[in-house]
């Protein structure tokens, strides 16, 4: 079934604006905002441009069934669409009805993470150049998520303490990770490259970088300061999708993802490795080296050690931890 056209959607823009306003009030990320707006718009179109207040459990269930049966979306996408629709009813309309809690959420199946060997990581890193090479080594050397690395500010790097402060990571939590000694020279060079762009913005009177939450109002000049500048700034300026201000943003993750994919292919690796694979490899290699799992949990920023335990499943049989009976038979 194709989605109906948006030709008569006179009320939709106002409703979507209300949705955006509520999402921003609750300090959800821009990506969450974009995803929720997308799925609420799809929900409205699926139901013939009828206002969601006129709809209920049957229409929501039909929409979710269509996503699963016709569109064949993944479990995570299915859950995201459901969360978006429920957010609309609960936080925009202020409704809390029994059917909302009765809707079945598709359950995620446990998947083992893709983990590269030390040699595979070395080959991939050696094929990356410039800023992308520094970023890749940072992800593997610290276990940061790609968004956490891209959002680093100059003030978050503590070379003397060999530490990196991660501000407002997943779940809004701060944490501290190591700054690898082997990465320090390249990271210092990256900071100097960023400084050149910062000086250029100062000369041109640019609007400074984006500040978190209300800090831009509380400290109007902080966004222009060197300490708040991005460690991985974009070469060009772009328009902020929320404010419309033209300013310098951090490096776009899609740019790095494409460079990483090329390096993986050139390294002859056939598994579906992504930048997040470097985080998985970081955790697995630490555990292989005998690091305590609680320490790995803190470095990764996991709330529960059970999340970190997934990497022990990789170790259970990998690298010859368990010997196959065929090997013993051949050895006889």
Q: Which residues are catalytic?
A: 145, 170, 276, 279, 302, 311
CA contacts within 13 A on the Cβ side of 303: 5
Q: Which two tokens stand for residue 144?
A: 């940061």
Cα–Cα distance measured from residue 226 to residue 213, given in angstroms and rounded to the nearest whole number: 19
CA contacts within 13 A on the Cβ side of 10: 0
Beta bridge partners of 238: 247
Cα–Cα distance measured from residue 95 to residue 89, given in angstroms and rounded to the nearest whole number: 6
Q: Which two tokens stand for residue 103?
A: 């809707």
Q: Which two tokens stand for residue 308?
A: 């970190």
Contact by Cβ (8 Å): 43, 51: no
Contact by Cβ (8 Å): 55, 100: no
Beta bridge partners of 165: 176
> Strands 163-166 and 233-239, how do they pair?
unpaired
Q: Which two tokens stand for residue 175?
A: 């944490």
Cα–Cα distance measured from residue 125 to residue 117, given in angstroms and rounded to the nearest whole number: 12
């Amino acid at each position: 079934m194709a989605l109906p056209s948006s030709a008569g959607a006179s009320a939709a823009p106002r409703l979507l604006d209300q949705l955006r306003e509520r999402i921003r009030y609750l300090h959800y990320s821009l990506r969450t905002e974009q995803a929720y707006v997308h799925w609420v718009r799809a929900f409205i179109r699926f139901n013939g441009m009828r206002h969601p207040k006129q709809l209920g459990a049957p229409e929501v269930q039909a929409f979710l069934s269509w996503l699963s049966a016709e569109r064949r979306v993944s479990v995570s996408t299915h859950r995201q669409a459901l969360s978006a629709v429920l957010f609309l009813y609960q936080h925009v309309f202020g409704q809390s009805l029994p059917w909302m809690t009765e809707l079945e959420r598709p359950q995620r199946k446990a998947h083992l993470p893709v983990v590269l060997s030390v040699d595979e990581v070395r080959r991939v890193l050696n094929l990356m150049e410039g800023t992308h090479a520094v970023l890749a080594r940072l992800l593997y050397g610290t276990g940061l998520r790609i968004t956490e690395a891209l959002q680093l500010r100059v003030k978050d790097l503590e070379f003397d303490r060999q530490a990196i402060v991660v501000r407002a990571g997943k779940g809004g939590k701060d944490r501290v990770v190591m700054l690898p000694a082997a990465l320090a020279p390249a990271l210092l060079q990256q900071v100097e490259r960023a400084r050149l762009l910062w000086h250029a913005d100062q000369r041109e009177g640019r609007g400074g970088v984006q500040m978190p939450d209300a800090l831009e109002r509380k400290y109007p000049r902080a966004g222009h300061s060197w300490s708040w500048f991005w460690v991985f700034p974009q070469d060009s300026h772009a328009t902020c999708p929320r404010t419309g201000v033209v300013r310098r943003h951090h490096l776009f993750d899609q740019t790095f993802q494409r460079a990483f994919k090329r390096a993986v292919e050139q390294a002859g690796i056939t598994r579906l490795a992504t930048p997040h694979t470097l985080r998985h490899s970081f955790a697995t290699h630490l555990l292989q080296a005998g690091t305590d799992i609680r320490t790995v949990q803190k470095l990764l920023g996991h709330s529960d050690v059970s999340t970190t335990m997934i990497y022990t499943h990789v170790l259970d049989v990998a690298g010859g931890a368990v010997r196959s009976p065929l090997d013993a038979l051949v050895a006889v």
